[in-house]
Structure 1
């Protein structure tokens, strides 16, 4: 993209405008930027001359953004945040660059974070910056290089590589299992169920897979995996959770199988990235490393399951 210089106001003008718009005061902006009120006023007027329109309504001793000024302030603030993030990323890793990755909170904490030391050892010149995200987002608006996605391979405009499939299991606390007999699929219908907000139909799909269709499934709703697993461990009900994300709780005995009835879904975890970042070196190295980690993890679980069946 070729920038037209006359459409690029100086950074000083933009910073003064952003502060005045955010604080709704030329005086407060001047104090924040260690300038005089008259200097801020002159800079705002210079920016308005470039734009050919007023950014503020000036009413006696107060200023108020115009409607167009509000929209411009949002975009300028986003642009300044991008410049700041790019500068911070460069300072953090001046030799190899950085990778900004959006991750699902529990996947990031339970699966990815414990493995990142391996990537850091292999590529010490690359800094990985993590941000958590539950809801889907647009690569054009959210400034990340890649994201961990769970679902189907249907992210429009993105490139994707599959990582891990998922097996969900019904789990509860040992104390809950003692209070509620759970020998049959039908028994699960008669106990409190814990629902995950991001997967509202998970229990319905599980009962269908177990050939026990239902129409009314009530119970407590939690907005993320960790809270759901903690509620189950506290004896609040039976939760349907991915086995590989609750291995610690299973090993410690905080959660146990409510019923030996696993279900494999058609959805998977993917690494997704915008097409234009395909050849970005930090992303390329991370993608290759992450796929290798996922393959090793899948092999580990196959071996573990075969070992369990042998006893």
Structure 2
């Protein structure tokens, strides 16, 4: 049976015009004339029997139907492009796993270990994209995600199941230059030092001071960074105290560019999990999951 599919050229024109809200800019991106793009859009609307665009004061605007279709088309075109690049990279050989991961964990824990996987499974490619928050697997082409969170947060991630990898222990660290004599301070004294905040964990410092039974009115004050790697860089430069997972800063602790800022106070609130969609697991994903558990010291 013949599929009801527009051509990829037509969809590319539509996606570019929808993204730019301009026929001229879409034509420039695709190396086509404005007239050619306009004809493609007209053919698409005729094919679908739905109005996708309307004229606006500056260029064009999407109709509600067009806006909804544009989001879906962009996801599909992105997936087709990734599949093509994956096949080109593998030259038709081997299999691949596409993984979403919290960035600092990926760069500091996972990627340094992938050389061992490459030696054990030379035909398996692992593609990694950065994600700091939960997402819908149905709208993304990921086989799994490495996520740092609590069991309660994982329960709210619909349509998934999670496998525990590593427990996380966070502790306050800073540059030795920030401490008098380079010596750790008490939790109460720490409350008076500049605190570096994690935008994805806005309550982290408040929770830490609560665990130490210390009042800290400024626990949520200070510059915010999205990634732990940004916090680590800021702390290493003496900008303040960072509250970070110790497993991510082993190099800095060994080199003493970062030192414990407090006499005590490492706490465990979250863990790192491999999160997967509730669907049959491909053989390549099974191989990667078993290797990942072995690296994490899990049976």
TM-score range, shorter chain: 0.7 to 0.9
Report matched runs for 1:136-215 at 5 Å.
136-153=134-151, 154=154, 155-178=157-180, 182-210=184-212, 212-215=213-216
Indicate how the Cα distance of structure 1 residues 86 and 260 shifts in structure 2: closer, same or farther if over 3 A, else same. Answer: same
Indicate how the Cα distance of structure 1 residues 203 and 34 shifts in structure 2: closer, same or farther if over 3 A, else same. Answer: closer
Aligned length: 290
Superposed CA offset, 1:218-266 (max 9, x none): 4423312122222222223332221111111111111112234243324
Could you tell me how far 1:104 is from its partner in structure 2? 0.8
Calculate the aligned-residue CA RMSD, in Å: 2.9
- Paired with 1:91 and 1:37, the residues of 2 have a C-alpha distance of 31
- Paired with 1:294 and 1:173, the residues of 2 have a C-alpha distance of 29
Indicate how the Cα distance of structure 1 residues 279 and 180 shifts in structure 2: closer, same or farther if over 3 A, else same. Answer: closer
- Paired with 1:213 and 1:292, the residues of 2 have a C-alpha distance of 39
Superposed CA offset, 1:107-136 (max 9, x none): 111111100111122122121111112222
Contact 1:195 1:228 in 2 (8 A): yes
- Paired with 2:173 and 2:292, the residues of 1 have a C-alpha distance of 29
- Please report the TM-score for the alignment, with normalisation by the length of structure 1: 0.81
Q: Secondary structure at the match of 1:269?
A: strand
Superposed CA offset, 1:38-79 (max 9, x none): 6555443332222113333479xx765444223323322221
Instruction: Give the match for residue 77 of structure 1.
Output: 74
- Please report the TM-score for the alignment, with normalisation by the length of structure 2: 0.84
Q: Secondary structure at the match of 1:135?
A: coil
Superposed CA offset, 1:77-125 (max 9, x none): 2211111111211222222222111111111111111001111221221
* Segment of structure 1 superposing worse, 246-255 or 88-97: 88-97
1:241 equivalenced with 2:244 (yes/no): yes
> For 1:87, which of 84, 87, 99 is the aligned residue?
84
Instruction: Give the match for residue 254 of structure 2.
Output: 251
- Paired with 2:189 and 2:29, the residues of 1 have a C-alpha distance of 64
Contact 1:90 1:98 in 2 (8 A): no
> For 1:15, which of 12, 16, 25 is the aligned residue?
12
Larger radius of gyration: 1
Could you tell me how far 1:176 is from its partner in structure 2? 1.8
- Paired with 2:214 and 2:21, the residues of 1 have a C-alpha distance of 58
- Paired with 1:19 and 1:106, the residues of 2 have a C-alpha distance of 32
